[in-house]
Structures are given as structure tokens and as C-alpha cells.
Amino acid sequence: MKKAWKIIASAAVTVGLLTGCGGGSGTAASGDTIKIGVNYELSGDVATYGQANVEGIEMATEEINNAGGIKGKKIELVKYDNKSTASEATTLATKLMTQDKVIAQIGPATSGAFKATIPVADKSKVPVVTGSATADDVTVDAQGKVQQYAFRTCFSDSYQGTAMAKYAREKKNAQSAVILTDNSSDYSKGLTASFEKTFTEAGGKVVSKQSYNKGDTDFNAILTAIRGQQFDMIYLPGYYSEAGLIIKQARAQGITQPIVGADGFDSPKLAELAGKDALTNVFFSNHYSSLSTDPAVQKFITDFKAKYNKEPDAFNALGYDTLKFVANGLQGGATTGADLEKALAATKDFQGVTGTISVDANHNAVKSVTVIEMRNGVQAAAEKFDA
């Protein structure tokens, strides 16, 4: 993985840090470049997500610039490491918008850090766009009001949880389920709520609900509590850091039922933590799969391998699509953040490698879920599924 950046882009950016201050709408009308902020988790607890997103962003930027840029202007990325903390993400959003004068910010990757930047975006009238923050309240606040300057190119947790509940009932004929929730994570709790509601409304039964917390490493007690019960599947909506260990320990206890998870599974670390033998009969919802036969996806994979000498994952693809999504909005001639906000909100049928994206009234991407099956530690099959 790449080393984290503190600040960089070019000498022009360094000068920018020493000049501008104050609020105001981001502007693209600055010389021969269009400044786009990149505010991601490049170190810290969820660095793999941020690093992968940024690899995709860089590749998309390179492609656009090599093809002549946007209306003759090259994209200039202004990149920072928020160290996987919401407070640092807020500080960097302020710097990007008031000092660097970006027209848009891409990132952060996680919902909490992304939400922390929205008040800055509203004040500065600069759109913030995430490829992987899936919490329901990312683009709509607690009162149901749309966050004007917040967008995402991924689906929401409620859509993801609903889709997997329907997938379990319709595709796997699951009649009963156990749910294991990360009680310290809004992401996990949101997925649990949407899965349980849809699963039970469809006639399924949740026979047990157990919880754990971020950083736990020994899950044998909660696994022992469910081992003797009758159930068809486990729903485990968590991040790879705990999910890998849970899967390993579950299989060691002789629990062989399918384990179904969410996009937080998508990291090379999952196989390292679980062990390849344990990662069979495991399914998770995701935004993309390299197993797709779509020519656009296969070209993306070929180009990514040529640049980075590795297979792209979903977060690479989401970062790539998010930069292209913002660039698509700029093609209409937007010169301020306020102009760009209108263009992004009007996006219909944007063709990305993670799917065809249209933006709904709540600034969410409308697209299919990809369900990935793991066998012997590798992604062996994938299919599109609509909730």
C-alpha cells in the first residue's frame, strides 16, 4: 500500500496553503488546473479503505488528464491523510475548502468521518462526495432533510441490508438466522436493523442476536452461545478486522452454516485473519466484482493491474468511479462548488465500473448490489441483485 501523504500535490498547492483563507464557494477557475480535494484515511484503523479509494482516484485522474483534461484544464489533486479520525477529517476539509480553494472534496471513506466534513461543505458551498460511506444519515440528516452538498456513489446501508435479507430468503431459502452485530459501530447497527426488518417481514426468523465491540479478538463465548441452536445462516455486518477472526473461530467450533456479510468484508486482510480454509460458504454484499464480464470492468482491471501490479478491489473501483462522477459533473462547465452541486444532483445513467449510477432525490446512487461468494479464501462467484 502507498505511504500516507500529509500534504502534497505540487508547488502550486504549497503556495495555496500559505495564501487563501476564509469561506466561499470552491472555484475551478484557477489557471490551467481544476483543484479537487482528497480527504482520506491513509493511516490508522481503516487505512486500507482510504488507500484503495485513493489508488482508484489517482488512476482516474491520470486517464482524464492524459486525454486532455476537462475543457482543457487538468485535474490537480490536493491530498491529505485524515488518519482515520473524524476530527482530523473536519480540520482537513476546512483547509481544503478555505485555503486550497478546491471545487469539490472526495472522501472520507467511512461514514463518521465523512459526516464530520458536511458542515464545512455547507458553509463553504463545496460538494463532498464519498465512494464508500454507506450510513443512511450521510446524505439525509436526522430530521429527514437532504444534505445539499453531500453525495455518494455507493448504495446506503439500508439498501445493502435489505438486499442481503432478500437474497438470503429468495436465493438461499434461509428460514432462520443468527445476527452478530458490532455494537460499537453505527454501520453494523444500521445494517442489522435493515436486514432484520426485511428478513422477518419476508417470513424469516431471527433466532439469536449477539454483539461484540471493535477491537475484540476472542469471540468464542458468543459463538458457543449460538452453536447449539438451529439456524440456516449467520448475518455478520461488520468490518474485516473483527469479521475475519469471527469466521475463523466459528469454523473452528464446527459452525458450518453460510456466513453473510457486507461491504466491510472487502479487504485482503479478511483472508489473512480468517485463514483460507475458513472462508468457504461466505457471502457478502459489495459494489463491484472483478469477476464481471462487462468489457468496461475488464478494461479497468487490465489498466489497474498495469499501473499497480495487483488486482483491484471494490474500494479501488469506487474511488475510480467517484473521481469520474465528479469529472462528469464538471463537464457541463461548472466553475463553482454551487454550480457543481446542481450538476451532480442532476446526474442520470452515469456509466461507472461499479454500475450505472443515477442520483436520487436524497443524493444517493441508485444501482444494483453485487453479491460475492468466497470459497477457500478467494472470491469465486459474483452476481448482481436488486433489493
* pLDDT over 50 at 232, yes or no: yes
What letter would DSSP give residue 286? E
Nearest-angstrom CA–CA distance, 117 and 137: 13
Q: How far apart are the first and last CA of the chain?
A: 34
* pLDDT over 80 at 31, yes or no: no
Amino acid present at 171: K
Higher local confidence (pLDDT), 319 or 368 = 319
Q: Where are the beta strands (DSSP E) in 123-229?
A: 128-130, 150-152, 176-182, 205-212
* pLDDT over 90 at 1, yes or no: no
Q: Any residues with CB less than 8 A from the CB of 60 and at least 6 apart, and which?
A: 319, 320, 321, 323, 324, 327
User: In this structure, are residues 285 and 370 in contact, taking their beta carbons and an 8 Å threshold?
Assistant: yes
User: In this structure, are residues 312 and 304 in contact, taking their beta carbons and an 8 Å threshold?
Assistant: yes
Domain definitions of the chain by residue range: 11-155+294-367, 157-286
Residue 92, all three cell numbers: 482537513
| pLDDT for 169 | 96
User: In this structure, are residues 216 and 210 in contact, taking their beta carbons and an 8 Å threshold?
Assistant: no
The reply to whether 11-155+294-367 and 157-286 are identical in fold is: yes
Map grid coordinates 453460510 to a residue. 258
| pLDDT for 11 | 32
Nearest-angstrom CA–CA distance, 154 and 369: 9
| 26-40 average pLDDT score | 79
DSSP string over 5-61: PSSBS-HHHHHHHHS--S----BS-BTTEEEEEEEE--SSTTHHHHHHHHHHHHHHH
User: In this structure, are residues 94 and 291 in contact, taking their beta carbons and an 8 Å threshold?
Assistant: no
Nearest-angstrom CA–CA distance, 42 and 33: 24
| 27 — pLDDT class (breaks 50, 70, 90) | low
**What Rg, from alpha-carbon coordinates, does the chain have?**
21
Q: In this predicted model, what pLDDT tens digit does every residue of 172-203 receive, in sequence order?
A: 999 999 999 999 988 899 899 999 999 999 99
| pLDDT for 187 | 85
Helix axes 111-124, 186-201, angle to 10 degrees: 110
CATH of domain 11-155+294-367: 3.40.50.2300
Q: In this predicted model, what pLDDT tens digit does every residue of 78-95 receive, in sequence order?
A: 999 999 999 999 999 999
Q: In this predicted model, what pLDDT tens digit does every residue of 315-354 receive, in sequence order?
A: 999 999 999 999 999 999 999 999 999 999 999 999 999 9
| 373 — pLDDT class (breaks 50, 70, 90) | very high
Nearest-angstrom CA–CA distance, 118 and 162: 26
Residue 22, all three cell numbers: 476564509
Q: In this predicted model, what pLDDT tens digit does every residue of 123-150 receive, in sequence order?
A: 999 999 999 998 888 999 888 999 999 9
Nearest-angstrom CA–CA distance, 89 and 86: 5
Instruction: State the average pLDDT for the chain.
Output: 91
Residue 186, all three cell numbers: 453505527
The CATH topology of domain 157-286 is Rossmann fold (3.40.50)
Looking at the chain, list the stretches that DSSP marks H as alpha helix, in order from N- to C-terminal side. 11-18, 47-66, 86-98, 111-124, 157-170, 186-201, 220-227, 240-252, 269-274, 295-308, 314-330, 337-345
Nearest-angstrom CA–CA distance, 108 and 106: 7
For residue 113, with 0-12 CB atoms within 10 Å meaning exposed, 13-18 middle and 19 or more buried, which class applies? buried
* pLDDT over 80 at 251, yes or no: yes
- Range from 21-30, 53-62, 211-220 carrying the lowest mean pLDDT: 21-30
Percent of the chain with pLDDT over 70: 92
* pLDDT over 50 at 8, yes or no: no
User: Torsions phi, psi of 278, nearest 5?
Assistant: -75, -25
* pLDDT over 60 at 18, yes or no: no
User: Torsions phi, psi of 210, nearest 5?
Assistant: -120, 155
